[in-house]
C-alpha cells in the first residue's frame, strides 16, 4: 500500500482494525447471549467496516468514559458512536455522516406524573447518566437542582431507576427502557427533550487517509441502505433476546 497514513498502514500490517466497544448489554453494543460474540450496532457495523477494509475486526472493550481517551492514545483506531462535541473535535476527526440520530430524553417510572422539566426542577431528586457522555453535561444544566449519579452505562442507570435509587435517567430516546418506565412528558403531553444530536464515527486528527476512507465508507453504506439495515437488525435481534427468543 502506497501513500497511506501511519494508521491505515498499521491496520493493513496488523491485519485488524481496532474498534472501541463497551459491552454494556444495550442493543447498541452487547455480546450475543448464544455465542458470546460481539453484537449490537457496534458489533455488526464494526465487522462490516473491517470486512470492507479487508481486515478483521478487533474490538477493544473498555468503559464508555475511557473510549475517547483510548482513541487519542492510539489504543484503538476507530470510535463508532460519539457525539461530535466541540471540545472533542479539537483532538479527533468526525465523519460527515451520522451513525445514529437521537433525542436526549428523561426516562421515569410509569407512576411519575407528567409535570414537565420545570416541575422536576422545582423539587429535589436524583438523576442517573452515563459517565463521560453528553448527557452528563446536559443533565447538570437541565436538572441543576438535582443530584447527579454517574454510572458506567445506560443499562446501569436503568437498573438504578428500577431499584428506586434515582428518579430519572437521562439518555438517548433510541434506548429501550426497563419494564415499568416511560418517557417524561409535559402536562399537555409533549415529550420532554433536553438535547437533539447524533453520534458519528471518528478517528485521530492526524489519521488523514483513514479518515477519508471512513468518511467515504459511511456515505456509501448510508446511500446503499446497508447502515440502516445493520442498525435495525441490531435492535430487532436484541429485542428477541430480551423476550427470550
| % of the chain with per-residue pLDDT over 70 | 97
pLDDT at position 245, please?
Answer: 58
Instruction: Tell me, yes or no, if the two domains 6-100+198-242 and 102-196 fold the same way.
Output: yes
Q: 3-state DSSP call for residue 29?
A: coil
Task: Say how far apart CA 5 and CA 112 lie, in whole Å.
Answer: 53
pLDDT at position 5, please?
Answer: 57
- Topology annotation, domain 6-100+198-242: D-Maltodextrin-Binding Protein; domain 2 (3.40.190)
Q: Are 18 and 207 in contact (CB under 8 A)?
A: no
Residue ranges, the chain, pLDDT below 70 = 1-5, 242, 245
Question: CA of 202: how far to CAs of 19, 186, 208, 214, in Å?
Answer: 10, 36, 11, 8
pLDDT at position 176, please?
Answer: 87
pLDDT at position 1, please?
Answer: 42
Instruction: Using alpha carbons, select from 244, 73, 68, 103 the residue that is nearest to residue 174.
Output: 103
Output phi, psi for 167, to 5 deg: -100, -20
Q: Where are the domains of the chain?
A: 6-100+198-242, 102-196
The model's pTM is: 0.86
pLDDT at position 111, please?
Answer: 93
Architecture of domain 102-196: 3-Layer(aba) Sandwich (3.40)
pLDDT in tens, 161-173: 999 999 999 999 9
Output phi, psi for 204, to 5 deg: -70, 155
Amino acid at each position: 500500500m502506497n501513500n497511506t497514513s501511519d494508521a491505515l498502514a498499521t491496520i493493513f500490517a496488523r491485519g485488524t482494525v481496532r474498534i472501541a466497544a463497551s459491552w454494556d448489554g444495550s442493543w447498541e453494543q452487547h455480546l450475543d447471549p448464544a455465542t458470546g460474540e460481539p453484537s449490537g450496532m457496534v458489533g455488526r457495523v464494526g465487522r462490516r467496516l473491517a470486512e470492507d477494509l479487508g481486515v478483521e475486526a478487533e474490538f477493544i472493550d473498555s468503559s464508555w468514559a475511557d473510549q475517547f481517551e483510548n482513541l487519542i492514545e492510539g489504543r484503538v483506531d476507530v470510535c463508532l458512536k460519539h457525539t461530535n462535541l466541540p471540545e472533542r473535535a479539537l483532538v479527533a476527526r468526525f465523519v460527515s455522516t451520522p451513525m445514529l440520530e437521537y433525542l436526549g430524553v428523561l426516562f421515569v417510572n410509569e407512576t411519575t406524573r407528567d409535570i414537565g422539566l420545570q416541575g422536576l426542577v422545582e423539587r429535589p431528586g436524583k438523576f442517573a447518566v452515563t459517565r463521560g457522555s453528553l448527557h452528563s453535561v446536559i443533565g447538570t444544566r437541565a436538572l441543576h437542582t438535582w443530584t447527579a449519579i454517574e454510572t458506567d452505562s445506560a443499562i446501569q442507570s436503568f437498573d438504578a431507576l428500577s431499584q428506586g435509587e434515582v428518579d430519572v435517567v437521562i439518555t438517548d430516546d433510541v434506548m429501550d427502557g426497563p419494564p415499568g418506565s416511560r418517557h417524561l412528558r409535559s402536562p399537555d403531553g409533549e415529550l420532554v427533550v433536553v438535547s437533539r444530536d447524533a453520534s458519528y464515527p471518528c478517528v485521530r486528527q492526524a489519521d488523514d487517509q483513514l479518515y477519508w476512507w471512513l468518511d467515504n465508507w459511511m456515505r456509501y453504506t448510508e446511500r446503499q441502505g446497508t447502515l440502516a439495515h445493520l442498525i435495525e437488525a441490531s435492535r430487532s435481534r436484541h429485542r428477541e433476546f430480551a423476550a427470550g427468543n
